[in-house]
Amino acid sequence: MPKKTYRQAINEALRQEMERDPRVILMGEDVAGGMGSPGEDDAWGGPLGVTKGLMPRFGRERVLDTPISESAFIGAAVGAAATGLRPVAELMFVDFFGVCFDQIFNQAAKFRYMFGGKAVTPVVIRTMYGAGFRAASQHSQCLYPIFTHIPGLKVALPSNAYEAKGLLIQAIRDDDPVIFFEHKAMYDEEAEVPDEPYAIPFGEANVTREGDDVTVIAMGRMVNFANQVADKLAKEKIGVTVVDIRTTSPLDRETILETAAETGRVVVVDESHPRCSMATDIAALVAQERFADLKAPVKMVTAPHAPVPFSPALEDLYIPSPAKIEAAVREVLAFQG
């Protein structure tokens, strides 16, 4: 199977869905680039080149550069979705959601319910998240727990290139608003990705490693870190199951609870802040539903309750690292009730 980067996988998913369905359009700041400029057209393809080549293929009518007016264009994507298009809007960094959140959580998320089941709002908002880029406090956050908190939004966090293509195609075909989180540190990571289109259903977790001793539940980039830890500990004959939840909303409760009960020792890894996070959400779920099966308290590995620092020396300490995950696994393993 061909190897592709996370960036290429996302680009391919967009291209194939735009070929399949003329109602799919893209919009965002410099998603093509060069609008009105004297030099090259399609000069950017987004700040990290993820959408490059799509404007020349589909034209400016379907790949729309926008002014820096997130409230207006994210809202326009929502309105267009509610009236017959299937827009994929790029919110460059998820940190910018503060500028346009009303259109997402009060409008897109609630139409279906408030309007008595009559509305369909198939909008996708692609957005970059995550630390590790030395991008400081306003360009490094995770924030997916905030979107997960809102009924009516679906939230996907692809953990590699294969997942990215399949989950994005599902997001575009899905009739609900989907927030699609792309980790900025993963765009150059490669995986085997089929050329043909495929959709990965939402709410179905993926068990990426199987072991008998500890269950690690993770999402997004943290799945890779958890896999590394599982592979390392396998050499010591410590069996680690790793669950990639893929979507935080809907959440695959069954797989989480089953794999938690199998080992009775659970670590949840979440790159976001610890309070009101996916880590607390999943830990509470397991504690509430599988208390009798637990052999140790559920352990959470998260970023601290602090903004993301700029200095590399601090940011490296900030991120939930494989070493921190390994220490947590050893801790739950060593726990004797």
Partner 1 sequence: MQLSRDQLLHAYRQMRTIRAFEDRVHEEFSAGNIPGFVHLYAGEEASAVGFCMHLEDRDHIASTHRGHGHCIAKGCDVGAMMAEIFGKKEGLCGGKGGSMHIADLEKGMMGANGIVGGGPPLICGAALTAKTLGTGGVAIAFVGDGGSNQGTTLESYNLAKVWNLPAIFVIEDNGYAESTASSWSVAGSQVGRAAGFGMPGYEVDGHDFFAVHAVAREVIERARNGGGPSLVHVKFARYYGHFEGDAMTYRGKDEVPRLMAERDCIDLFRRRVTEAALLEPSELDAIDREVAELIDRATAEAKAAPMPSEADLLTDVYVSYH
Ligand X SMILES: Cc1ncc(C[n+]2csc(CCOP(=O)(O)OP(=O)(O)O)c2C)c(N)n1
Please report, as ranges, the residues that interact with ligand X according to CB under 6 A.
Answer: 29, 68, 70, 92, 96, 99
Give least dist CB 326 to partner 1, A.
19
Q: 3-class DSSP state for residue 305?
A: coil
Closest CA to 218 of 272, 292, 139: 272
Q: Note whether 309 binds partner 1 by CB under 8 A.
A: yes
Contact 44/3 with Cβ under 8 angstroms? no
Which positions ≥6 away from 308 have C-beta within 8 Å?
131, 135, 136, 137, 140, 141, 315, 318
Q: Using CB distances below 5 to 8 A depending on partner kind, what does residue 136 bind out of partner 1, ligand X, none?
A: partner 1
Give the residue with the Cβ less far from partner 1, 37 or 336: 37
Judged by beta carbon, residue 96 or residue 144, the one nearer ligand X is 96
Q: Binding of partner 1 at residue 274 (CB under 8 A)?
A: no
**Sign (positive/negative) of CA torsion 23, 24, 27, 31?**
negative
**Residue 304 contacts which entry, partner 1, ligand X, none (Cβ below 5-8 A, type-dependent):** partner 1
User: Is residue 71 within the footprint of partner 1 (CB under 8 A)?
Assistant: yes
Asked whether position 117 contacts partner 1 by CB under 8 A, the answer is no
Show the DSSP H helices in the chain as ranges: 6-20, 54-58, 70-82, 97-101, 111-114, 144-148, 161-173, 221-234, 253-263, 278-289, 312-318, 322-334
Query: Under the criterion CB under 8 A, does residue 38 sit at the interface with partner 1?
Result: yes
53 φψ region: left (φ > 0), alpha (ψ -120 to 50), beta (else) = left
Task: Examine residue 137 and tell whether it contacts partner 1 (CB under 8 A).
Answer: yes
By beta-carbon distance, which residue lies closest to ligand X? Answer: 96
183 tagged catalytic: no
Whether residue 211 contacts residue 239, with contact meaning beta carbons closer than 8 Å, is answered with yes
183 DSSP 8-state letter: E
Report if residue 95 touches partner 1, rule: CB under 8 A.
yes
Q: Are 304 and 271 in contact (CB under 8 A)?
A: no
- Say whether residue 198 binds partner 1 (CB under 8 A): no
- CA 125 – CA 106 distance, rounded (Å): 15
- Binds 39: which of ligand X, partner 1, none (CB < 5-8 Å by kind): partner 1
**Which lies closer to partner 1 via its Cβ, residue 98 or residue 201?**
98
Asked whether position 307 contacts partner 1 by CB under 8 A, the answer is yes
Q: Cα dist. 118→104, 217, 223, 291, 335 in Å?
A: 18, 36, 37, 40, 52
Residue with tokens 């799509």: 54
Residue selected from 61, 84, 236, 313 as contacting partner 1 according to rule CB under 8 A: 313
Nearer to ligand X (CB atom), residue 95 or residue 326: 95
Query: Least Å distance between CB 222 and ligand X?
Result: 25
Query: CB 137 → partner 1: shortest distance, Å?
Result: 7
Q: Which of 96, 105, 162, 202 binds partner 1 (CB under 8 A)?
A: 96
Closest by alpha carbon to 186, among 144, 216, 155, 157? 157
CA-CA distances (angstroms) from residue 284 to 95, 145, 263, 288, 300? 27, 14, 17, 6, 11
Identify which of residues 114 and 317 has a Cβ nearer to partner 1 in the complex: 317
Q: Whose Cβ is closer to ligand X: residue 4's or residue 126's?
A: 126
Active site positions, annotated:
139
Binding site for partner 1 (CB under 8 A): 29-30, 33-40, 43-44, 47, 65, 67-72, 95-96, 98-99, 133-139, 304-307, 309-314, 317-318
